Structure 1
Amino acid sequence: MSPPGSSVRLFPARVVRPEWARKTVTALSDSVDESGIDLYRVAVDPDAYADTPVSLYVYRQTVGGASYSGVVCEVSVQAVADGRVRGHEAVHPQRVEALVWHHATMDGPPALVELLHRAGPEYTRTLDEVQRSEPLLDFIGPHGIQQTVWRLPEGDATSALAEELGATDFYIADGHHRATAALEEWETAGKPADAGLLCVVHPMDGLRLDSFHRRVPGPVDPDALIRLVSEGFDVRETGRPTVPVSGAIGMYVGHRWFELTDDEERPAGVAGLDVAVLQARVLDRLDPAPGGRTREVETIPATASVDQLALRCDVDSGALFTLAPPSTDALVAVADAGEVMPPKTTYFDPKPATGIFLRR
């Protein structure tokens, strides 16, 4: 077992049976419906699960030839309250209230919170060794993502792993609203010492980190926009889209591609992020839309086709800005400073599936 008071604990679970996995496990769904109804669309059939002893688990998702592995454990809600679990996104109170209501009125599989940490030797050794052994579960799950699970039973090695994890700081990759809801529930319940949050802990580089691009619907005057961006950036025409990198922003306007860079020393924290610099130097200074309307800026996942986005700009004479995701070091700096990133700055993938684990 984990030491008393440890922020990371083994936990008793019911784990989905292999023959039920494909029809029971679903993709994580943080519903946009803030009423809280059907936040997680998973029907629980008791026959689909088997009791397992107190354990930790290694959980791997494989998609597109790449694998993403982490350790599933219980993290104390006290660690969230103490700031040992830190976030970098703002939360919406209505969504938090919806989750609190859902947890109080419905009995379903918990949605894992994804955490990042600086992996230590026990963590690295465990993942390397365990993934060469026979898994407890191995099946093709939602969206064709392979889901593989190994159980780490009680013992000296598992205790050493839990102790190492309990001594580190965590950074939320996905699940800011779930962590905040758990904190509210904990406070309402009188702050019980045994309250925990089921999490999957990845190394700092253990997930795919994507960004969001910005598109300004047209019409946009290309010459006026180029003059505006030239006030805050060095502007170089590239003739084609370039792969965004930190410190360089792509721009498409008037059927032409440009790269925007600058030699200024960026401030630390949020203010120095590409997305914040673009907002302050360009997007906040755009001329109003025709008719005096407010300019609406679209946020679009970086997984979208840049060629298709450029075609949309050709159709409505709009403009596109392509952004690289901030580094995990930048994310950590923001979280450590207690700041929050602008909305739609980062996107971690893949999300953990829902329905593999039930708490006992």
Structure 2
Amino acid sequence: MSTPGLPGDHGLRMVPLRGLRYVPEEIGSLAAVTSPPYDVVVRPDGLLHLESADPHNIVRLILPQADTAPARHQQAAETLRSWLAEGILAPDSEPALYLYEQSRDGLLQRGIIGALALSSPGEGVVLPHEDVMPHVVEDRAALMRATAANLEPLLLTYRSGPGASGTADTIDRTAARPPLLSTTTEDGFHHRLWSITDPAEVATVTTDLSHHQALIADGHHRWATYLRLKEEHTGGPSPWDYGLVLLVDTAHYPLQVRAIHRLLHRLPVSEALAAVGDSFRIRRLDTPLAEALAALAEAAADGNAFLLAGDGAYHLLDRPDPDLLSRTVRGDRPEAWRTLDAAVLHETLLAHVWHVPDAPEDIAYIHDTEAAVEQAERHDATAVLMHPVREEVVRDLARQGVTMPRKSTSFGPKPATGLVLRSLDVG
């Protein structure tokens, strides 16, 4: 995403770092110590699976387990210190930018990992597109304070313009060299990582990026956390002025956009349907999940649509009452925002029809569709399955400075957590 009207040195400012990485000789396998991002791990099943995969799995740092929040954060800090002392993790010998590649079934994504200078929201250099939950930001901030580390990179995207080939050429040359690491995770993705240390190549990349702004594709809460911690460390240059990110040029490597589903813990499907009444058209679908999702996609092409699950069947909600929407969806936002499925879900269904607070004890946000359905059926809850929003809608709203309801999108593939960490105590 180019930065209209800004000089080159007012765009993205990325610098090399001495990445903190697992020492291969000290672990069973790289695949066994990686994890999805903290908010993608399905708890408790996915968490237990990762913890048992290897005693040094990164989930013990990003999702530590203890009775209280302070104890969790302290445990993560102690675990990180012990792994550093034991040589499980070690910083690279010299600062570098890192080329990170993910591939699976014909999909190829490459991006640059580095430390990005944090900019204020008003500068328009890094554009958020979703709201955040304060309690999550507070938890992530406490974890980062305790560990003095960025444990997983944000996923940011930008779009290079015609003829902007410097970074692309550097990526191609780097990918032709032997990688620092290569592993395949259980989701089938193959991961490779290279370091870029040559001063000329680093300068090419950083100069190119200085002409661009970025969209936060994944990691809004971590970005908000970075900004909060930067504000806490004033009085001069500080490691907290930077945050660990993965930057992907979607002109060369387009991302996939998926939906994030809602699990309503305390609302059975029967009660959800009864409350909806005739304010939406409701159709029961006694079909496999794939066919139900196809019906959702077809309905979503014509307007707002949702798929409810949790009672052994699927229920398609579409064609909402226009008068209901006009009364319940806030009017101080652009039409593109007012017609978002996530806006209608939160403003109309959750707040007005179901009276479900947007609190962790009432709503869980789940990326995996099958996991959402399974948990709803197991706990007599309601899974609200969403259809993904188009990427151009996300970008247009972000450029207008309009944020979408939290957890509206899931861009991917997401970087595996555990391949590169950033310690704020390492130069």
Whether the TM-score (by the shorter chain) exceeds 0.5 is yes
Provide the residue aligned with 1:10 in structure 2.
15
> Which of 252, 268, 272 pairs up with 2:339?
272
Moved more, 20-29 or 8-17: 20-29
Residue in structure 1 matched with residue 216 of structure 2 by the alignment: 172
Compare the two structures and name the one with the higher strand fraction.
1
Amino acid at match of 2:278: R
> 1:13-162 alignment to 2 at 5 Å?
13-16=18-21, 17-20=23-26, 22=29, 25-27=33-35, 28-29=37-38, 30-31=62-63, 34-35=69-70, 36-38=73-75, 42=80, 43-45=83-85, 47=87, 48-49=89-90, 51-62=92-103, 66-78=107-119, 82-108=123-149, 110-120=151-161, 121-122=164-165, 123-140=167-184, 145-162=189-206
In the TM superposition, what whole-angstrom CA distance separates every residue of 1:176-230 from its partner, at most 9, and x where no partner exists? 2332232233233326456321211123464443213356523248688462114
Q: Alpha carbons of 1:228 and 1:297: their partners in 2 closer, same or farther (altered >3 Å)? A: farther
AA aligned to 1:277 is V
| Map of 1:338 onto structure 2 | 401
Unmatched runs of 5 consecutive residues or more in structure 2: 1-7, 39-61, 323-332
TM-score by length of 2: 0.64
Name the structure where helix makes up a greater proportion of residues.
Answer: 2
Write the distance in 2 (CA, Å) between the matches of 1:351 and 1:274.
Answer: 26
Which residue among 369, 373, 378 is the counterpart of 1:304? 369
1:282 shift after superposition: 4.4
- Of 322-331 and 72-81, the range deviating more from structure 2: 72-81
Cα offsets for 1:262-301 (capped at 9, x unmatched) = 899x943432211212444545453789xxxxxx975563
How far did 1:116 drift?
1.5
Q: Which residue of 1 aligns with 2:391?
A: 328
Aligned CA distance change for structure 1 residues 38 and 169 (closer, same or farther; 3 Å): farther
- Which residue of 286, 291, 298 corresponds with 2:353? 286
Alpha-carbon separation, structure 2, partners of 1:142 and 1:38: 27
2:247 — aligned with what? 201
Letter in 2 for 1:83: G
2:119·2:126 contact (CA, 8 Å) conserved in 1? no
Distance 1:12 1:353 in 2: 17
Cα distance in 1 between the residues matched to 2:18 and 2:232: 24
Provide the C-alpha distance between the structure 2 equivalents of 1:326 and 1:191, rounded to a whole number of angstroms. Answer: 42
Q: Which amino acid aligns with 1:13?
A: R
Residue in 2 aligned with 1:292?
none
Post-superposition offset of 1:132: 3.1
Contact 1:109 1:354 in 2 (8 A): no
CA–CA separation in structure 2 for the residues paired with 1:222 and 1:155: 61
In percent, how many aligned pairs have the same letter? 19
Q: Is the Cα contact below 8 Å between 1:186 and 1:192 reproduced in 2?
A: no
| Residues in 1 aligned to 2:363 and 2:280: alpha-carbon distance in whole angstroms | 18
Structure 2 counterpart of 1:165, which letter? L
| TM-score, length of structure 1 as denominator length | 0.74
In 2, are the aligned partners of 1:58 and 1:127 still within 8 Å (CA)? Answer: yes
Measured in 2, the distance between the counterparts of 1:310 and 1:178 equals 26
Gaps of 5+ in 1: 290-295
Matched residues in 1 for 2:355 and 2:234: separation?
51
Counterpart Cα distance in 2 of 1:256 and 1:93: 33
Cα offset, 1:97, TM superposition: 3.9
Distance 1:100 1:222 in 2: 39
Q: Shift in Å at residue 38 of structure 1? A: 4.3
Residue type of the partner of 2:14?
Answer: R
In the alignment, what sits opposite 2:5? none
- Identify the residue that residue 47 of structure 2 maps to in structure 1: none
Instruction: Letter of the 2:370 partner, please give it.
Output: S
1:311-348 deviations in Å (ceiling 9; x for gaps): 949x96x8765321222222223333333322332234
Residues 221 and 325 of structure 1: CA distance in aligned 2, closer, same or farther (over 3 Å): closer
RMSD over aligned CA atoms reads 4.3
Is the contact made by 1:142 and 1:353 (CA closer than 8 Å) also made in structure 2? no
In the alignment, the residues of structure 2 paired with residue 306 and residue 357 of structure 1 have an alpha-carbon distance, to the nearest angstrom, of 28
> How many residue pairs align between the two structures?
346
